[in-house]
């Protein structure tokens, strides 16, 4: 989880990722940030994030992203 938080801080340093649960809903991450984030997550965690996983529920919080990462790693 610490690695995920580091990646998120690089992409959007002013956002409180540890407490925010509305990253997408409140537009704290825009589409370019999401694309960068997906590329970083795929590289760092050796996963492929399918298009069907790119939904607000999976990106609204660091916890939701971490759950998605763990789920995708388990599927491999």
pLDDT tens string 3-59: 999 999 999 999 999 999 999 999 999 999 999 999 999 999 999 999 999 999 999
Q: Which domains does the chain have, with CATH numbers?
A: 2-75 (1.10.1200.10)
Residue 73 tokens read as 């790693």
What is the C-alpha separation between 73 and 32, in angstroms, rounded? 24
DSSP 35: H
What is the C-alpha separation between 72 and 12, in angstroms, rounded? 24
pLDDT at residue 76 above 90? no
* Gyration radius (Cα) of the chain, Å: 11
């Amino acid at each position: 989880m610490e690695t995920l938080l580091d990646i998120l801080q690089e992409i959007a340093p002013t956002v409180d990722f540890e407490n925010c649960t509305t990253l997408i809903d409140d537009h704290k991450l825009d589409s370019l940030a999401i694309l960068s984030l997906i590329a970083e997550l795929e590289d760092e965690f050796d996963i492929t994030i399918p298009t069907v996983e790119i939904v607000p529920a999976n990106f609204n919080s660091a916890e939701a992203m971490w759950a998605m990462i763990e789920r995708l790693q388990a599927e491999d």
